[in-house]
């Protein structure tokens, strides 16, 4: 009888242990910590840290102020539009247009500035990343440029484009997460008619990138 009671007790204890272990595991997976975050010296280093954390949503789970502290660059939450927020971020600084900075919201993290010290300004893909996993052209008629573009604009832009650039006009370059899951982030660099790779963006998932989802949907595994 004592052996039976002992066996039942052992089963209950083990069951409780595995249940707790599973719940801890689930919590850890749901709140995965970012890896390799540290102060960044330039745009290429920032893109590398974003790419290293593309397999989960840890960057989206962090507050803008936390990212700002660890990266050492201005990080503005999209909802923050007060003058105080702009002043804190350096918005009114004369060097702001070229300053490396990030704008974060619930579905994307976009990088601005910092091009002067990067591989992008040389017309190269991010030097610390593997080549993009997918490249596709956009339809000019369906994606017209913002505002009126003159011949003078095109000439000026053409003069600024590096020779032997790896980028094509009006094209999107995409880096996927290793799971090829549409529920996990993807990194995108786009060009326009000026063939200018601008504002690299980490999207939270494929739905956040829904405008072009039909073009990339076949790449993802079924979740």
* Phi and psi at residue 160, to the nearest 5°: -90, -15
Which range is most confident: 11-25, 55-69, 159-173, 197-211? 55-69
- The CA distance from 10 to 175, in Å, is 49
Residue 129: Cβ within 10 Å count: 18
pLDDT for residue 197: 77
pLDDT on residue 89: 55
Q: Indicate the average pLDDT of the chain.
A: 76
Cα separations (Å) of 163 from 44, 123, 126, 158, 170? 20, 8, 16, 10, 17
- Report yes or no: 120 and 196 within 8 Å, Cβ to Cβ: no
Give mean pLDDT, residues 104-109: 92
Residue 91 scores a pLDDT above 70: no
What band does 104 get if pLDDT is binned at 50, 70 and 90?
very high
Residue 21 above 60 pLDDT? no
What pLDDT band is residue 177 in, cutting at 50, 70 and 90? very high
User: Is the predicted pLDDT of residue 9 greater than 80, yes or no?
Assistant: no
| Percentage with pLDDT > 90 across the chain | 38
Q: What is the pTM of this model?
A: 0.74
Task: Give the closest residue to 183 by CA, choosing from 49, 30, 47, 35.
Answer: 30
pLDDT of residue 203 exceeding 60: yes
Q: How do residues 118-148 score in pLDDT, each as one tens digit?
A: 999 889 999 999 999 888 776 655 555 555 5
Q: Is the confidence at residue 217, as pLDDT, over 90?
A: no
Per-residue pLDDT tens for 74-90? 998 876 555 565 555 55
Higher-pLDDT residue of 171 and 151 is 171
Torsion sign (Cα): 170, 174, 180, 183: negative
Exposed, middle or buried by CB within 10 Å (0-12, 13-18, 19+), for 31? exposed
Domain positions in the chain are 1-30, 31-219
Beta carbons of 55 and 178 less than 8 angstroms apart: yes
Q: How far is residue 62's CA from residue 27's CA, in Å, rounded to a whole number? A: 16
Asked if residue 8 has pLDDT above 60, the reply is: no
């Amino acid at each position: 009888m004592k052996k039976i009671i002992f066996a039942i007790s052992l089963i209950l204890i083990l069951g409780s242990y595995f249940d707790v272990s599973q719940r801890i595991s689930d919590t850890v997976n749901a709140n995965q910590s970012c890896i390799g975050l540290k102060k960044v010296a330039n745009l290429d280093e920032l893109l590398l840290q974003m790419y290293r954390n593309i397999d989960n949503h840890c960057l989206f789970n962090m507050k803008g102020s936390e990212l700002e502290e660890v990266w050492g660059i201005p990080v503005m939450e999209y909802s923050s539009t007060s003058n105080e927020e702009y002043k804190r971020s350096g918005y009114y600084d004369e060097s702001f247009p070229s300053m490396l900075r990030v704008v974060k919201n619930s579905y994307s993290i976009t990088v601005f500035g910092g091009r002067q010290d990067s591989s992008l300004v040389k017309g190269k893909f991010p030097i610390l990343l593997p080549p993009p996993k997918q490249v596709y052209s956009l339809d000019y008629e369906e994606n017209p440029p913002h505002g009126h573009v003159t011949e003078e604009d095109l000439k000026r832009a053409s003069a600024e484009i590096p020779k032997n650039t790896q980028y094509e006009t009006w094209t999107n370059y995409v880096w996927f997460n290793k799971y090829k899951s549409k529920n996990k982030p993807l990194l995108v660099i786009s060009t326009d008619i000026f063939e200018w790779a601008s504002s690299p963006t980490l999207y939270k998932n494929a739905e956040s990138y829904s405008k072009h989802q039909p073009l990339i949907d076949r790449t993802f595994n079924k979740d």
